Structure 1
Amino acid sequence: MTPTDDAPTLAVIGGGVIGSMCALAAADTGWHVDIYDAGPEYRAAEVAGGMLGSLGEGHPGESALLALSAESTALWPRWIERLGDPGIRTADDSLFVATTAADGEYLRQLADFVWSEQIGADRLTTLTAREARAQEKALTTRVHSGYLARGEGALDNGLLLSRLRAALAAAGVHWHRIRIDAIDEVPADQVLVAAGMGTAQLLPDITLIPMKGEILRLAPNRHSVPPPTHVVRGRVDGRNVYLVPRADRLVVGATQYEAAGPDDHLPQAGGVADLLADATELMPGLRTYDLVESAAGIRPCSADGMPIIERRDERTLVAAGHGRNGIVLAPITAARFADLLAG
């Protein structure tokens, strides 16, 4: 919808996936929108696996987050169509794999008592070791059992950010590369604070915990086995590791532990070593891949793990605290923000 001259104005502080999709949702309903973005180093989505499935967040005690993730995942196909580029999707399904009997029992309990509440039997298939390896032939012979989760896909986070930027420009949203230190600096009828860890600086009564997450990017060469076609989420001797295909490489992730601070962006040797060890244990052929990049991002986590999407006062709204789930939760965040904005 093209805004009229007298349309209300919205300032969005934060140009990551959350801020960008909320800005688009407002622009689509006729708002004049400006985004104030501090730069890529402040965006959690720059270092992400880009998984869209909800089951990866299906852990005991996190039923509310799983339900929200499932609701948001169902909205993603419409957003991919809205962005006009289905090529950003890099996988359609996820393969959950256990390497030991204990790991297999862990996945079974998740499937029976947690996942079953959010995904139908037609979308989740129990696999033997042989059936799991038939899905991805490069998997280790240590595979004990697994599950195929249909519709639990992934997208390329870098392409997503660029497509969002293009869609914002097409919708008439103005982009300002500047760091905002006080909400009063931005002139607008309404202000959305979606600045990741920077949110707590602008709204001091909001507490966010900086959690560090490391990922690796690997690229095949002429000696390499082909990359997987599924998202592979492995349980290796009690630890979790995921492999996410991209057009020309593979993303391996992810560690998660409390960061030294919001600017703690250097990968630690131990985190990189653990990811490489578990990834190559899960898929031994990855040993021939080239290590293109190791990176660390800061996940802004709320105290209870649930995102904070609310109105703070008559002018200010907030969308923050998404932790490791910013991409998967972006559509439901944009929908709830649009409802708040509409009153």
Structure 2
Amino acid sequence: MAHVREGRGPTLTVVGGGVIGLGCALAAADAGWRVTVLTDPDSPRAADVAGGMLGSLGEGHPGEDALLEITADSVRRWPELLARLGDPAIAAADDSLFVGVAAADVAFLSQLARFVWSKSVDESVLRQVTGREIRELEPALGSRLVGGYLASGEGAVDNRALLAALETTLARAGGVVVPRRVDSLAGLEGDRILVAAGLGSSKLVAGVDLYAAKGEILRLSANAWSVPGPRHVVRARVGDRMVYLVPRRGGIVVGATQYEPIDADDRAPRVSGVADLLADALEVMPGLRTYDLAEAGVGMRPCTPDGLPIVRELDDRVIVAAGHGRNGIVLAPWTSHRVVEILGKAAAE
């Protein structure tokens, strides 16, 4: 049985201790709910393997207008969440550079800026930059970069510092995190149940159609010989692929691949994926050769057929928040807000 803490107020049991589950739990606790989070200690969290970018533009692609809209809404909510967590170590960067290695790459970015990005940001947020300006902003980037865009406010967080801060802040708000695997919702205590178990959500509730996308991310650590890392998030178009470099204290995160896994146990880094990431990252920042390869991480992202997260009430007790794909971290505030809206509506009825 779940151990919902004693006291006044309605009770909420959250199944899933990833960034969505913890973010919703904290928001619910702040709204007066008594919250218990059940998290499987043996199940990897998608947010443990992430770049942590908070911008909407990097996730804005043709045909994804609905996703861009909710992502932009969530980005506007991030400053409030960061203030609530109160840990400056979470922030990793404030702005992003979108860069291209060749003229065709910049043309691709320009098409996004004109027809997609302009729908969610005003002109003051996005500024076109030349290759010379890119190197003035980030001297360690390669001389072959010919142009791109500077996106003000398109920052990033340290994903693992974020998860730790969410747990700490939730505990201070009276929430409880219990290590426990949940195979069925039957028998769970709580006035309401929130299923935020990533890919496992489809096994717990009917009608939640999710599939896994495998993604690799590299963590590079600086040594005494390493060139200084970037201050911005660097998102580069290299041919037909995108690669990003995200600063971390003492290193850089490089990502990310995305493709269909062989099966649910396909969690080993694939040589081709790691090789592509390294080749593209070195094209953008040759000085990465001076870093140490600290980790080649693999995450399984819970995706939906239409690319949009599932955040809805299933019945008078169960809510689901799942299927965020590559956008779990950036969409955490929007999802938390939506879940609290659902909880508030039900409490008022």
Q: Distance in 1 between matches of 2:126 and 2:257?
A: 26
Aligned to 1:59: 61
Between 1:201-210 and 1:150-159, the stretch displaced more is: 201-210
Aligned to 1:25: 27
1:86 to 88, 100, 104: 88
CA-to-aligned-CA distance 1:163-183 (integer Å, 9 cap, x gap): 001011101111110110001
Aligned to 1:323: 325
Give the counterpart letter for 2:332 in structure 1. A
Which 5+ residue runs of structure 2 have no aligned equivalent? none
What SS does the aligned partner of 2:186 have? helix
Kept in 2, the 8 Å contact 1:216–1:251? The answer is yes
1:200 to 180, 199, 202: 202
Q: Distance in 1 between matches of 2:61 and 2:123?
A: 19
Aligned to 2:305: 303
1:76 aligns with 2:83: no
Aligned to 2:267: 265
TM-score normalised by L of structure 1: 0.97
Q: Distance in 2 between matches of 1:296 and 1:4?
A: 39
Q: Distance in 2 between matches of 1:264 and 1:207?
A: 20
Between 1:183-192 and 1:104-113, the stretch displaced more is: 183-192
Q: Distance in 1 between matches of 2:36 and 2:92?
A: 30
What SS does the aligned partner of 1:5 have? coil
1:38 aligns with 2:31: no
Kept in 2, the 8 Å contact 1:214–1:295? The answer is yes
Q: Distance in 2 between matches of 1:261 and 1:228?
A: 36
Kept in 2, the 8 Å contact 1:197–1:262? The answer is no
Which 5+ residue runs of structure 1 have no aligned equivalent? none
1:220 to 201, 219, 222: 222
Q: Distance in 2 between matches of 1:263 and 1:83?
A: 34
CA-to-aligned-CA distance 1:184-231 (integer Å, 9 cap, x gap): 131111100000000011013211010001000011222221000000
How far the C-alpha of 1:5 sits from its partner, in A, is: 3.1
1:177 to 170, 176, 179: 179
Aligned to 1:250: 252
The total of aligned residue pairs comes to 341
Aligned to 2:125: 123
Q: Distance in 2 between matches of 1:299 and 1:64?
A: 19
Kept in 2, the 8 Å contact 1:49–1:253? The answer is yes
TM-score normalised by L of structure 2: 0.96
Q: Distance in 1 between matches of 2:264 and 2:344?
A: 33
CA-to-aligned-CA distance 1:112-167 (integer Å, 9 cap, x gap): 11111111111111011111111111111111111000000000011001100101
Give the counterpart letter for 1:233 in structure 2. R
1:337 to 333, 336, 339: 339
What SS does the aligned partner of 1:303 have? coil
CA-to-aligned-CA distance 1:75-98 (integer Å, 9 cap, x gap): 000000000112210100000000
The two structures, once aligned, show a CA RMSD in angstroms of 1.2
Q: Percent identity?
A: 56
1:101 aligns with 2:103: yes
Q: Distance in 1 between matches of 2:31 and 2:6?
A: 11
Q: Distance in 2 between matches of 1:4 and 1:290?
A: 48
